[in-house]
Amino acid sequence: MNVRTTMDWYPLYNSVRIAAVSTVAVYFLGIFLANVVAKAPRLVKGVLDVILTLPLVLPPTVVGYLLLVVFGPKRVLGAWLLETFSIKMTMVWYAAILATIVVSFPLMYRTTRGAFESFDENLADAARTLGRSETWIFWHVKMPYCQQGIVAGAVLAFARALGEYGATAMLCGYTPGSTATVSTTVYQLWRTGDDAGALAWVMVNLAISAVVLLAMNWFEGRSKEKRATAGAGRNTAAAGGAR
């Protein structure tokens, strides 16, 4: 059997669109909550940090089960969504977006929070003396300063969402041409004895993951070069001013 001519590329398309949508969601949600938690009192920060990071340490199947408990068609919230908006949150492809948001969010949140906590507040104070608003400072000072950590979190969240299996399988199952993803397809092909097909999808997943990580390393390298160049420029300006 020639895998190239018989391979159905829908699982790849479905995985990429699910990962892309969920990454956009966790990007903004992660930035917002990381900024809130970073500025919260110590006790509140500890409680919120545990809650927001919990999906990172729970088995994905447990996360999927909890999502079924909340969003199942016979549960209160799931039934309400179905009856009010005709939105079914199980066994449909877009339900995987919810699953991947939950499991990938902690990576975005933790990485971004760490970047915010390392932010030099002296830069913000300097901007305040110039009459800049807190909103302006956040978007024009804090975000550029922390961009390396934020981008790293987004890349890790995308990679995690792309490879998600447990929660996705619990919430969406496996339906060819509908809910199939790369991860569920690998399992289904292996389960049915199609080792060649499973291996082909494993190689596809490895290739995508390698590209994503290489892109992240490239961006980090560029960010370090820019910071080094900016630092050299400041030192030169300071030396010139001293003379």
| CATH code for position 64 | 1.10.3720.10
In-domain check, residue 108: yes
In-domain check, residue 44: yes
Distance CA 136, CA 127 (A): 9
What is the tens place of the pLDDT at every residue in 192-238?
Answer: 999 999 999 999 989 988 888 888 788 777 766 666 665 555 545 44
In-domain check, residue 187: yes
User: Token pair for residue 89?
Assistant: 């949150």
- Whether the per-residue pLDDT at 105 is higher than 80: the answer is yes
Contact assessment for residue 104 and residue 27, using Cβ atoms and an 8 Å cutoff = no
**Which residue type is seen at 8?**
D
- Whether the per-residue pLDDT at 6 is higher than 80: the answer is no
Give the pLDDT mean for 136-151.
91
**Which residue type is seen at 199?**
L
- pLDDT at residue 231, rounded to an integer: 54
pLDDT more than 90, % of the chain = 65
* 8-state DSSP, 181: -
| pTM for this entry | 0.85
Contact assessment for residue 182 and residue 19, using Cβ atoms and an 8 Å cutoff = no
- The residue segments making up the domain with residue 65 are 8-229
In the numeric block, the tokens 């079924």 are attached to 68
In-domain check, residue 240: no
- Comparing 98-102, 113-117, 187-191, 227-231, the range with the smallest average pLDDT is 227-231
Contact assessment for residue 80 and residue 2, using Cβ atoms and an 8 Å cutoff = no
Give the list of residues 6+ apart from residue 95 with CB closer than 8 angstroms, or none.
71, 88, 89, 171, 172, 179
- pLDDT at residue 139, rounded to an integer: 92
User: Token pair for residue 197?
Assistant: 């097909």
Give the pLDDT mean for 20-32.
95
pLDDT more than 70, % of the chain = 89
Please name which of 152, 198, 146, 188 lies closest in space to residue 168, comparing C-alpha atoms: 188
In-domain check, residue 242: no
In-domain check, residue 237: no
For residue 213, CA distances in Å to 217, 218, 239 come to 6, 9, 39
- pLDDT at residue 70, rounded to an integer: 93
What is the tens place of the pLDDT at every residue in 58-78?
Answer: 999 999 999 999 999 889 899
Give the pLDDT mean for 103-109.
95
Number of domains in the chain: 1
In-domain check, residue 239: no
In-domain check, residue 241: no
Q: Helix or strand or coil: residue 82?
A: helix
- Whether the per-residue pLDDT at 11 is higher than 60: the answer is yes
